[in-house]
Structure 1
Amino acid sequence: MSERSPAPEGLALIESLVNTVDLGSGRDTLDTAAGRERFGLTEDDLPGALALRESLRATLLAHAGHPPHREVTPLGELLAHAPLFVAVDPADGSAALVPADTGPLLSRVAAAVAGALTAGTWTRLKACAAETCHWAYYDRSPAGRGRWCSMQVCGARAKMRRYRAKEPNTTGRSAAT
């Protein structure tokens, strides 16, 4: 779990959706009525929301340079079912892609992705490289090369594993004794 600040604007929706499940414990807040209500979901919406969440996680893993660990529906295929239109503000002429229907989670996620694409922030939303974590986080590092949701937890564990793998056997014991 990350101690980082939330992702900007619409990406916070995606970040919070991906982080509804703790892969380490298996606890999923979408299993509760309160968790579903937070995203405007009913129990009937759950299968689609879970598919969307895992498709987003796979995409965020790709943003971090890691292949997804299981087969999921490609995010583009899911987002193709969320119609967006160009809304132009009459006061200043600014334009944005907005969902045709703001209710469904899929439409809100599609609008968030579109907004992040135009803002140049989409690829900064990533999933932690740790196998038991894959928590979504917004990479605020200057070079955009962050790998872990938390350097103090997931990053430290990975570095310690790498260090121990290189460490020679110093016990002096042989298998024959």
Structure 2
Amino acid sequence: MTDRAPAPGGLALVEALVNTLDLESGEDRLDTPDGRAEFGATEAGLADVRALRESLRAVCLAHAGHPPHREVTPLGALLARAPLLVAVDQRDGSAALAPADAGDLPSRVAAAVAEALTAGTWLRLKACELPDCHWAYFDRSPAGKGRWCSMSVCGARAKMRRYRAK
């Protein structure tokens, strides 16, 4: 949907996961073996991955000032079960939270959220305001007031709808 560059750091994983579902077409990349493999998801764990995706979408919508798209499990509840470790670099002494199991998607997402919180970028991961889109994007606008995943697509549609309503 978007013509924007991917989110920085670990947020790229979160953005990619949210964007596995195209709400307009209904196409879900998690329905394909390649899409599941990208996130280490199995058929058996697919419901949990989808619940995580929709909780992340709800948070991205909240970051943009929009209500949740539907009832979801709170993200904090899902990530509470995601073990993280403190990884200390012996060369320079820097530390970061890392997934206890690099193959566990919730732990990888929790580590990405922790990284983004530390970097101050978490609130910049948003979801497009258009109800038939809600595509995740990283808001690089100077004031952090971006509303659409793509000005040329969703922004133009929203502005045209407002114009026609007048």
TM-score (structure 1 length as normaliser): 0.92
Q: 1:159 offset after TM fit, Å?
A: 0.8
Structure-1 residue corresponding to 2:13: 13
Output aligned runs, 1:59-74, within 5 Å. Answer: 59-74=59-74
3-state secondary structure, aligned to 1:43: coil
Output aligned runs, 1:115-130, within 5 Å. Answer: 115-130=115-130
| 1:100-136 alpha-carbon deviations (Å, 9 max, x no partner) | 1111100100000000000000000000001100000
Structure-2 residue corresponding to 1:81: 81
Q: 1:40 offset after TM fit, Å?
A: 1.0
3-state secondary structure, aligned to 1:161: helix
Structure-2 residue corresponding to 1:148: 148
CA distance in 1, matches of 2:87, 2:35: 31
Q: 1:84 offset after TM fit, Å?
A: 1.1
Show structure 1 runs of 4+ deviating over 3 A.
none
CA distance in 1, matches of 2:28, 2:102: 25
Q: Which runs of 5+ in 2 are unaligned?
A: none
Q: 1:137 offset after TM fit, Å?
A: 0.4
Structure-2 residue corresponding to 1:132: 132
CA distance in 1, matches of 2:99, 2:6: 23
RMSD, aligned α-carbons: 0.6
Structure-1 residue corresponding to 2:53: 53
3-state secondary structure, aligned to 1:111: helix
CA distance in 2, matches of 1:71, 1:156: 29
The percent of aligned pairs where both chains have the same amino acid is: 75
Q: 1:87 offset after TM fit, Å?
A: 1.4
3-state secondary structure, aligned to 2:82: coil
Q: 1:45 offset after TM fit, Å?
A: 1.3
Equivalenced residue count is 166
| 1:25-73 alpha-carbon deviations (Å, 9 max, x no partner) | 0000100111101111111110100000000000000000000121000
CA distance in 2, matches of 1:114, 1:102: 15
**Larger Rg belongs to:** 1
Structure-1 residue corresponding to 2:36: 36
Q: Which runs of 5+ in 1 are unaligned?
A: 167-177
Paired amino acid for 2:96: A
